[in-house]
């Protein structure tokens, strides 16, 4: 069974603030870890592998809009500790 977490953020901001958010997302994609927090909501995403990128832009009736959507499949992470392994050492 998969676990679902959601995060939403809505705010009226200036262009410089949007640039800072986009730069933070870019840093997250580069590092492979995106951390999003607002008030009591938070989510951590680990983008990797092939991703689907959708970009939509509209200019209609004096209102402009651009949407970016990036999606990917999470791959389970397996962590193995040496203490969990029963490996006989060769003498």
> How do residues 40-78 score in pLDDT, each as one tens digit?
889 999 999 999 999 999 999 999 999 999 999 987 767
Inform me whether the pLDDT recorded for 1 exceeds 50: no
Residue 6 has a pLDDT of 87
Judge whether 9 lies within some domain: no
Count structural domains, the chain. 1
Let me know the angle formed at the C-alpha of 71 by 12 and 42, rounded to the nearest 5 degrees: 50
- Using DSSP, state whether 65 is helix, strand or coil: strand
Residue 66 has a pLDDT of 96
Residue 18 dihedral angles phi and psi, to the nearest 5°: -65, -40
Judge whether 72 lies within some domain: yes
Judge whether 59 lies within some domain: yes
Let me know the angle formed at the C-alpha of 12 by 11 and 18, rounded to the nearest 5 degrees: 85
Judge whether 4 lies within some domain: no
Inform me whether the pLDDT recorded for 29 exceeds 50: yes
CA–CA distance, 76 with 18 (Å, rounded to integer): 32
CA–CA distance, 9 with 38 (Å, rounded to integer): 7
Judge whether 56 lies within some domain: yes
Domain that holds residue 42: 15-84
Judge whether 42 lies within some domain: yes
Residue 22 has a pLDDT of 96
């Amino acid at each position: 069974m998969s676990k679902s977490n959601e995060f939403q953020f809505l705010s009226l901001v200036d262009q410089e603030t949007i640039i800072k958010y986009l730069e933070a997302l870019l840093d997250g994609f580069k590092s492979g870890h995106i951390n999003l927090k607002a008030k009591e909501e938070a989510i951590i995403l680990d983008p990797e592998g092939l991703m689907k990128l959708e970009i939509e832009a509209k200019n209609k009736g004096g209102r402009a809009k651009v949407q970016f959507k990036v999606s990917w499949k999470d791959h389970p992470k397996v962590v193995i500790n040496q203490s969990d392994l029963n490996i006989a050492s060769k003498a």
